[in-house]
Structure 1
Amino acid sequence: MEGIPETRELARALQDKGIIPRHVVLLHAADTVLIERNLGKRVDVYTGEVYHTTFDWPSDVGVQRHLKAPDGISEVETTRRLLEYHRNFPGILQSFEKRLKQINADQPCADVFSQVLTHVRAPPRTPAPFSPRILLCGPPGCGKSLQAALLSQKYGIINVCCGQLLREAVANETKLGELIKPYLNSGWPGSRREYV
C-alpha cells in the first residue's frame, strides 16, 4: 500500500476493517529535495512511464518527444501537499509505530530498495503462513511508487495503485467514477496512491 492512509483517522479505519500491514516503510527526505524531484517528473503520454529530467532521462529521442509534465506538480501545489503531509504525519506515525522503519529517500534508489528489502525480510512474529502486506508512506516525491513497483516485481505480489483504480473508474464512467470525479478534478491527493 503506497501513500494511504494519509491521516490517523484513515489508518484507524483500515485497521478496523482488518487491513493491517505487516511492514511499514516511511520514506523521508528534505522538502527542498522533494520539491525538486516533483518538478522534474515527466510522463510518457503513450505508455505512462515516469521519467525525471535529472535522474532518469530517456536516451530514446522518440520517447523524449512524448514526455509531458504531469498535472498538479507545480512548486505551489507540491508545497501545499507537503504541508498537508506534515500536518497529518504524527497521527500516521502513532498508528504504525511498532511496525515502522524510517528510511532516508535522499540516496540512490538501489540503496533505498536494499534497506526496504532488509525491513520486509524481517522474520514474522508467527510461523503461520501469511500474505505480505507492506505499507509505503511518506511525502510526495519520496519514491513510494518506484519502491512499490520494485517490491511487486521482486516478490510477485500485487501492486494496487489506488489512484490508478480511481482514475479508471472515472474514465469508464462507472457509478463509483461519477461519485469520485469531483474529488479527482479538484486535485484530491488521495488520487495518487498505491497498495502493495
Structure 2
Amino acid sequence: MTPITFSLATCECALASDLDSCYKRTANHLIAMDETAKPLRIPPEMAIYAEKHEIFDLVQTMVTNLMVDKPEDPIQYLIVLLKRGSVEVPRVMLLGPPASGKRTVARKLCEHTQVIHITDSNILKEDTDLTKKALQYKAKQQDIPGDLWIKLIQQRLSKIDCVRRGWVLEGIPQTREEALSLQEAGVAPNHVVLLEAPDAVLIERSQGKRIDPVTGDVYHVTFIWPEDKEVVQRLERQKAGSEEQLVAQLMQHHREVHALRKTYRNCLKGIDADQPHVDVFDQVCCGELLEAVSADATNMGELIKPYLESGQQVPDSMVLQILTERLSRLDCTTRGWVLHGFPRNLEQAEKLQESNFIPSRVFFLEMTDDVAIERVTLGSIDPVTGERYHSLYKPAPSPEVQTRLQFNPKDSEAQLLRELKEYWANASSLQDLYPEAVHINADQDPHTVFESLESRLVRRLQNDA
C-alpha cells in the first residue's frame, strides 16, 4: 500500500512497528515454550523457499491490509487482495461546494468505471447496529458524533464490493478534522477531485435544480435538461433551503477548503465546475477507458497493461473489443454516448461501423497547428494544488506559484508535432467517411465552442423529431 499523505505514512510506520513487535513477541514465546517442549524442527529449505517467493513480505502485506481495512469477511477479502495483486482499484473523493455538480459527476464517473458510489445518505441505509445508532441521533435532529460517522464510512468501504471494484466518496470528507480521522482509520484515496465555481454561479444553479424521482438524476433548467419528454414531465423541484442558508453553507465550505487542499495536496486535482458538465467529466475519453480496464483484474486488463506501461499503442483489435463492450452497456444503449478522440483513422472507423456502432452526429473541431502548439506547449501544472495554468490564457496568480509550476514532457512541441502529423494524415479519409459531419472552429473561447456544438445538436434533435 502506497501512503498518500504524511499522516497515513506515519500511521503505517507505526503499524509496521507494531507488527514487528508482534513477530518478536511470538518468537520469544516460541523460544520460551521450546525450553520445556520438544524442539520445533523446521527444514532450512522452508526459509529458502519463503525468501525466494517473498512469502514473509506477502504475509506482512496481507496482515497490514487486514488491520487497516478491517473487512467483515477477512477470508474473501484476502482472496480478492491476492487476485488483484499490485493493481490498485479506484478510490476517489469528489469534493466541492453545494450546487457544484458533485452528484452528476459522481454518477457519470461510477457508470464509466463501475466503482461503487458512496454518499452520506446511502451509508445510513445500511442495516447495521452502527447505522441504527446513527439514525437515533438523526431522529432527534442531532449531529452524528464524529467517531461514529468515521466508523460508518469505514464499515461501508470494507464491504467486498468496494474492496473489489473501488469507490467514489461524494462530498466526504467536509472538514480537515474529518479527513484526518479518515486517514487514521485507514481510508486513503488515490484521487481527490475538487470542483470549484464562483458563489454567484452556485447560487444560480441551486435555484434551478430539478430531480428525477425515479433515477435520482439531477438536472437544471439552464445547464442540464433531459432530452426524454417523459423524464421532463416527472421532474421535481429539489428541496433546498433559502439563499441565506446556501450562502452560510458556502461560507463554511470556504473556511474548510484550504485545509482540505493541504491535507490531500499529493493527490488533489482542482476542476473548474463553471462549464458544461460534459466538459467537467471530459466525456467518454478512450484513453481513460483503457487505463480503467488495465486496472481491472481481467484477462483483457492484463493483456493491455504492458502496452500502457511501456507507452506503446494498444492494438486496434483490443481497443475495439473494450470499446464495443462498453458501448453495449445499458447506460449507453438507453442514453447514448460520446466518443472523444476516437476513431483516429479510417480503419478504426470502419471497424466501429462493422460492429454496428454508428454515430448519429460527428463533429470535427478545427484549428491551425500554430494555435494547437500555443495551447498545449505553454501549459503547466501546480504540483501542490493540481491547478492548471497557461502562460497566455491563465497565468500563475503569484511568483511563488510560478516558481513551482511543472511542465508535462508529453506536452512538448516535438511530441505534439508528431501527433499533428498523424492527425492530418488521417483527417481527409475520416471526413470522406462522414460527409455530413459538422466542422466547428475551435479557435474560440470554450463557451463559444460549446454553444456552437449545442445549437447544432438541438437543431439535429428537432429535425429527428
**With structure 1 as the length reference, what TM-score do the two structures score?**
0.55
- Unaligned 5+ segments in structure 1 are 128-196
Question: 2: distance between equivalents of 1:21 and 1:47?
Answer: 38
Aligned pairs for 1:27-106 within 5 A: 27-45=365-383, 50-57=388-395, 59=397, 67-98=405-436, 100-106=437-443
Between the two structures, name the one with larger relative contact order (CA 8 Å, sep ≥ 6): 1
Instruction: Note the alpha carbon deviations across 1:26-55, whole angstroms, 9 max, x for none.
Output: 111111111111111223446655432211
Question: 1: distance between equivalents of 2:422 and 2:464?
Answer: 36
Instruction: Note the alpha carbon deviations across 1:115-174, whole angstroms, 9 max, x for none.
Output: 0111222234644xxxxxxxxxxxxxxxxxxxxxxxxxxxxxxxxxxxxxxxxxxxxxxx
Q: CA contact under 8 A between 1:23 and 1:119: conserved in structure 2?
A: no
The residue type equivalent to 1:116 in the other structure is L
Q: Structure 1 pair 18/66, CA: closer, same or farther in 2 (3 Å)?
A: farther
Equivalent of 1:22 in 352, 360, 377: 360
- Percent sequence identity is 30
Give the equivalent residue in structure 2 for 1:142. none
Question: 2: distance between equivalents of 1:19 and 1:47?
Answer: 40
1:59 CA drift (Å): 3.5
Pair 1:7-2:345 in alignment = yes
Q: CA contact under 8 A between 1:44 and 1:66: conserved in structure 2?
A: yes
The residue type equivalent to 2:389 in the other structure is Y
Give the equivalent residue in structure 2 for 1:121. 458
Q: Structure 1 pair 90/115, CA: closer, same or farther in 2 (3 Å)?
A: same
1:57 CA drift (Å): 3.3
Q: CA contact under 8 A between 1:27 and 1:103: conserved in structure 2?
A: yes
The residue type equivalent to 1:121 in the other structure is V
Give the equivalent residue in structure 1 for 2:445. 108
Question: 2: distance between equivalents of 1:14 and 1:66?
Answer: 44
The residue type equivalent to 1:24 in the other structure is V
Q: Structure 1 pair 37/17, CA: closer, same or farther in 2 (3 Å)?
A: same
**Greater helix fraction, Structure 1 or Structure 2:** 2
Instruction: Note the alpha carbon deviations across 1:41-76, whole angstroms, 9 max, x for none.
Output: 223446655432211335377865664222222111
Question: 2: distance between equivalents of 1:18 and 1:74?
Answer: 37
RMSD of the alignment, in Å?
A: 2.4
SS in 2 for 1:97: coil
**With structure 2 as the length reference, what TM-score do the two structures score?**
0.25
SS in 1 for 2:373: helix
Q: Structure 1 pair 16/31, CA: closer, same or farther in 2 (3 Å)?
A: same
Question: 1: distance between equivalents of 2:433 and 2:454?
Answer: 22
Please list every run of at least 4 consecutive aligned residues from structure 1 whose deviation after the TM superposition is greater than 6 angstroms.
Answer: 60-63
Q: Structure 1 pair 95/36, CA: closer, same or farther in 2 (3 Å)?
A: same
Question: 2: distance between equivalents of 1:50 and 1:9?
Answer: 35
- Unaligned 5+ segments in structure 2 are 1-338
Question: 2: distance between equivalents of 1:87 and 1:76?
Answer: 17
Question: 2: distance between equivalents of 1:4 and 1:56?
Answer: 29
The residue type equivalent to 1:110 in the other structure is H
The residue type equivalent to 2:367 in the other structure is A
SS in 2 for 1:117: helix
